[in-house]
């Protein structure tokens, strides 16, 4: 929903000299040069970078299926020393697949965030589509976090027993909190979308 400019409504906001000018400059949230448009540029750059990394990882994954691994080893080490393990095809596919999925998940999150920001820069963020986008972000974040936790647990148990410490539930606290915040924000947007609709149909 586009709000009319205060000048068009004949309303003049109080501006007290320099302080008022500074406040007006700081409060610029929409339009060219605003906070949201700067964030959008950062998101676009991160999206392109992640797309390149994900693409590269997928290419490596495909290449990894065909390269000979007979003489390749991996070293698992900690402060007390290390040991060498043979590089198997399954291990390589698991590693590259996990990294590709990790970056792919964040790519999807950024894709949704960019769409949310596009609506914000247009001055109309409280749309029903943004509610589902935020829910998708929460869901992807949950899957990525859970996946990383399981993958690290597998590596600790299978690949490097005694070298890597197994994952604990406490490691999930911060990600779970972040996921919760995203879902709460989605509900806030849902209410915002409902209020927007109400105001649109108020004559």
**28, 83, 89, 194: which one contacts other proteins (CB under 8 A)?**
194
| Bridge partners, 85 (sequence order) | 74
Q: What is the DSSP letter of 74?
A: E
Two tokens, residue 51: 């797309």
Name the one range near other proteins by CB under 8 A: 41-49, 69-77, 154-162, 192-200: 192-200
Q: Are 2 and 121 in contact (CB under 8 A)?
A: no
For residue 108, the minimal CB distance to other proteins (Å) is: 24
161-190 positions binding other proteins, by CB under 8 A: 190
**9, 19, 27, 201: which one contacts other proteins (CB under 8 A)?**
201
For residues 73 and 84, what is the distance between their CA atoms, to the nearest angstrom?
A: 6
For residue 135, the minimal CB distance to other proteins (Å) is: 13
Q: CA torsion 157→178→131→45, rounded to 10°?
A: -90
For residue 201, the minimal CB distance to other proteins (Å) is: 4
Q: Are 14 and 20 in contact (CB under 8 A)?
A: yes
Number of residues this chain uses to bind other proteins (CB under 8 A): 10
For residue 166, the minimal CB distance to other proteins (Å) is: 44
For residues 157 and 145, what is the distance between their CA atoms, to the nearest angstrom?
A: 18
84-143 positions binding other proteins, by CB under 8 A: 128, 131
For residue 192, the minimal CB distance to other proteins (Å) is: 10
Name the one range near other proteins by CB under 8 A: 11-19, 72-80, 101-109, 195-203: 195-203
SS3 77: strand
Name the one range near other proteins by CB under 8 A: 10-18, 64-72, 110-118, 194-202: 194-202
**Count of other CB atoms within 10 angstroms of residue 195:** 12
For residues 55 and 49, what is the distance between their CA atoms, to the nearest angstrom?
A: 10
Binding residues (CB under 8 A) for other proteins: these are 128, 131, 190, 193-194, 197-198, 201-203
């Amino acid at each position: 929903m586009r709000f009319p400019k205060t000048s068009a409504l004949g309303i003049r906001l109080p501006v007290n000299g320099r302080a008022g000018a500074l406040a007006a400059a700081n409060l610029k949230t929409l339009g060219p040069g605003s906070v949201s448009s700067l964030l959008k540029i950062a998101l676009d750059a991160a999206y392109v970078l992640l797309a390149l990394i994900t693409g590269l990882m997928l290419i490596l994954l495909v290449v990894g299926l065909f390269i000979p691994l007979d003489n390749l080893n991996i070293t698992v080490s900690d402060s007390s020393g290390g040991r060498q393990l043979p590089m198997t095809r399954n291990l390589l596919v698991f590693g590259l697949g996990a990294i590709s999925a990790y970056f792919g998940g964040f790519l999807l999150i950024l894709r949704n965030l960019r769409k949310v920001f596009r609506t914000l820069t247009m001055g109309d963020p409280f749309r029903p589509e943004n509610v589902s986008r935020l829910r998708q972000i929460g869901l992807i974040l949950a899957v990525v976090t859970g996946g990383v936790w399981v993958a690290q647990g597998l590596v600790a148990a299978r690949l490097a027993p005694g070298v890597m410490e197994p994952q604990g539930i406490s490691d999930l606290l911060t990600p779970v909190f972040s996921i919760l915040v995203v879902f709460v924000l989605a509900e806030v947007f849902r209410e915002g979308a409902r209020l927007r609709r109400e105001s649109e149909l108020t004559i």
